[in-house]
């Protein structure tokens, strides 16, 4: 109760949920002693794959006995997920104490919730100066609260695509502008660029970081992977090749994220050995990113059929998700709920050979699109129906033996699914 009360107080400090500016968090962090200037951070920017890349790096670092602090957003089931210190999530009491201390220092000054949370992370992270901090930077990076670090170990640029367009002026809702927002303010250290959706995006990234003096590595130029038979893949970079087992996460696109994490850690010369990488990539905890549900209340409704949840919510996420689905020889049934500001028609256009689509309302999200309105936007798809709740949607689908059920379209929706389950 104490934690929820403090979070409620945070929400009263600013009339807007998002207000792109760095002034407020800089002012608060100055009162906190500028903790962001004393930590060792790996910053992760981009549109898709950020969390997956962070979780891969985190799993490998833990195998090498490194202590890490991890800051990601949004959370899926509980806010504690965003606050990992010394390889452990803070419990409710620890988190409430941290929030309360920073709240008192802020002294009711205007600041957004995300800025407060970010300041809290930096403040706590500074208590562990030897730890490696894995920091996911949100929205467009340039004016994101995480972009106040004085220096960092590396910047990872994950796949960049069109998303959150409502935060850009109408005449600047372009991939060129999005790349500029995400990469123009990267620090001078190491920049590792993951596989991009197309060559246009990659060239745009190269143009934006041309004058950045960082050591730069690019997927397929400085590091790469290739699929091999017999359940392994081959990773290669300037330090040599590694024969690696397939990871414990689904989808070939995850090999791109894992390769980016490996390239970063090997470039930083942290003493990461091949056995740390081999063990780490088989212990990745990637909540709600193409996650298979194997037990629980909702799983009982699905019975013996494969049950997946995946928070993909933009067109490029839909593209890679459906590349995975195309590798499966079964009937696929998809339940979808989305936020109102997404590219709904473009998102659904990537879904091919789907047996049924059910749109639903996302519980507890006032910024979501109604399932009925979403159904209307999907009118060009075959076999689209609407149900008001997650459980009703699952029960309405006639699953046959070997069919697959996937719930997707929003990380907020997957959080509700996991909590219900």
What does the pLDDT read at residue 383?
A: 86
Task: Classify domain 291-420 at the CATH topology level.
Answer: 3.90.190
Q: For the chain, what is the mean pLDDT?
A: 95
Evaluate whether 121 touches 115 at the Cβ level (below 8 Å). no
In the 8-state DSSP scheme, what is residue 210? T
pLDDT digits (tens, 9 = 90+) for 299-357: 999 999 999 999 999 999 999 999 999 999 999 999 999 999 999 999 999 999 999 99
> Which residues neighbour 256 within 8 Å (Cβ) at sequence distance 6 or greater?
49, 159, 194, 195, 219, 225
Tell me which residue of 352, 333, 329 sits closest to 397, measured CA to CA.
Answer: 333
Q: How many C-alpha atoms does 329 have within 13 Å on its Cβ side?
A: 0
- Give me 15's structure tokens: 């009339």
pLDDT at 231 over 90: no
pLDDT at 229: 78
Q: State what percent of residues in the chain have pLDDT above 90.
A: 90
Residue 200: the pLDDT is: 96
pLDDT for the residue 102: 98
Q: Which two tokens stand for residue 417?
A: 């699914």
What are the structural domain ranges in the chain? 2-280, 291-420
Reduced 3-state DSSP string for 129-170:
CCCEEEEECCCCCCCCCCCCCCCCCEEEECECCCCCHHHCCH
Closest CA to 183 of 222, 218, 223, 235: 218
Q: In this predicted model, what pLDDT tens digit does every residue of 361-406 receive, in sequence order?
A: 999 899 999 999 999 999 888 789 999 999 999 999 999 999 999 9
What are 97-120's pLDDT values in tens digits? 999 999 999 999 999 999 999 999
CA distances from 184 to 188, 208, 295 (A): 11, 6, 45
Query: Distance of alpha carbon 27 from its chain centroid, rounded?
Result: 27
Average pLDDT over residues 13-23: 89
369 to 106, 176, 421: CA distances (angstroms): 35, 28, 23
The pLDDT, as a whole number, for residue 116 is 97
pLDDT at 295 over 90: yes
What strand order describes the sheet that includes 232-237?
A: 223-228, 232-237, 240-245
Flag whether pLDDT at 254 surpasses 90: yes
Any idea which residue has 């894992």 for tokens?
A: 258
Distance of CA 323 to CAs 102, 317, 319, 352, 353, Å? 44, 10, 6, 9, 11
Sign of CA dihedral 326, 337, 146, 46: positive
122-136 mean pLDDT:
98
Instruction: Look at residue 43 and give its three-state secondary structure.
Output: strand
Angle at 76 between CA 145 and CA 420, to 5 degrees: 155
* DSSP state string for 222-262: TEEEEEETTTEEEEEETTEEEEEE--SS-STHHHHHHHHHH
Q: For residue 10, is pLDDT > 90?
A: yes
pTM of the model: 0.95
Q: Tell me: the pLDDT tens digits for 208-225?
A: 999 999 999 999 999 999
Residue 168 has pLDDT above 80, yes or no: no
Average pLDDT over residues 279-289: 96
In whole angstroms, what is the distance from residue 135 CA to residue 34 CA? Answer: 16
At 390, which helix (H) or strand (E)? helix 390-396
Q: In what order do the strands lie in the sheet with 384-386?
A: 291-292, 306-310, 404-408, 332-336, 356-359, 384-386
- How many residues appear in the chain? 421
- The one-character DSSP state at 327 is T
Instruction: Find the angle CA(68)-CA(251)-CA(325) to the nearest 5 degrees.
Output: 145
CA atoms lying within 13 Å on the CB side of residue 222:
15
The model's confidence at residue 63, banded by pLDDT at 50, 70 and 90, is very high
Report how far residue 1's alpha carbon sits from residue 226's, in angstroms, rounded to the nearest whole number.
50
Q: Could you tell me which of 87, 25, 20, 14 has the C-alpha nearest to residue 283? A: 87
Among left, alpha and beta (phi > 0; psi -120 to 50; other), residue 157 is: beta
For 189-211, the pLDDT digits (tens) are: 999 999 999 999 999 999 999 99
Chain segment 330-343, per-residue pLDDT in tens: 999 999 999 999 99
List, for residues 39-53, the tens digit of each pLDDT value.
999 999 999 999 999
Pick the CATH number of 2-280 from 3.40.1190.10, 3.40.50.150, 3.40.50.10860, 2.60.40.10: 3.40.1190.10
pLDDT over threshold 80, residue 83: yes
Among 306, 310, 316, 320, which Cα is nearest to 288's? 310
Whether residue 166 has pLDDT greater than 90: no
Q: How far is CA 360 from CA 201, 255, 375, in A?
A: 33, 31, 9
Assess whether the region 2-280 and the region 291-420 belong to the same CATH fold.
no
């Amino acid at each position: 109760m104490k934690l929820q009360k403090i979070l409620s107080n945070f929400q009263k400090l600013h009339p807007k949920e998002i207000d792109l500016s760095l002034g407020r968090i800089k002012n608060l962090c100055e009162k906190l002693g500028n903790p962001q200037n004393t930590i060792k951070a790996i910053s992760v920017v981009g549109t898709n794959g950020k969390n997956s890349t962070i979780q891969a790096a985190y799993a490998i670092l833990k195998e090498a006995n490194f202590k890490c602090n991890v800051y990601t957003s949004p959370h899926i089931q509980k806010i504690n997920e965003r606050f990992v210190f010394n390889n452990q999530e803070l419990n409710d009491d620890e988190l409430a104490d941290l929030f309360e201390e920073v709240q008192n220092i802020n002294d009711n000054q205007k600041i957004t919730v995300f800025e407060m949370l970010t300041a809290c992370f930096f403040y706590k992270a500074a208590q562990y100066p030897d730890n490696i901090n894995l920091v996911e930077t949100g929205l467009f990076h340039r004016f994101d609260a995480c972009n106040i670090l004085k220096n960092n170990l590396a910047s990872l640029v994950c796949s960049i695509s069109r998303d959150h367009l409502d935060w850009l002026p109408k005449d600047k809702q372009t991939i060129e502008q999005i790349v500029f927002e995400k990469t123009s303010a990267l620090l001078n250290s190491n920049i590792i660029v993951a596989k991009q959706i197309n060559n246009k995006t990659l060239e745009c990234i190269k143009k934006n970081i041309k004058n950045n003096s960082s050591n730069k590595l690019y997927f397929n130029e400085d590091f790469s992977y290739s699929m091999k038979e017999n359940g392994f893949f081959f990773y290669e970079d300037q330090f040599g090749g590694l024969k690696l087992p397939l990871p414990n996460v689904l989808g070939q696109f995850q090999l791109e994220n894992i390769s980016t994490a490996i390239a970063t850690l090997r470039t930083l010369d942290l003493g990461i050995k091949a056995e740390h990488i081999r063990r780490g990539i088989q212990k990745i905890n990637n909540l709600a990113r193409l996650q298979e549900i194997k037990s629980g209340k909702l799983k009982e409704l699905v019975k013996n059929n494969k049950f997946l949840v995946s928070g993909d919510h933009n067109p490029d996420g839909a593209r890679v998700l459906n590349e995975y689905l195309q590798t499966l020889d079964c009937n696929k049934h998809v339940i979808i709920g989305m936020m109102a500001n997404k590219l709904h028609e473009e998102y659904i256009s990537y879904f091919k050979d789907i047996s049924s689509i059910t749109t639903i309302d996302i519980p507890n999200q006032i910024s979501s699109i109604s399932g009925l309105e979403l159904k209307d936007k999907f009118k060009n798809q075959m076999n689209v129906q609407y149900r008001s709740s997650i459980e009703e949607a699952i029960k309405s689908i006639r699953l046959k033996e070997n069919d697959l059920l996937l719930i997707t379209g929003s990380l907020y929706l997957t959080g509700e699914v996991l909590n219900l389950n």
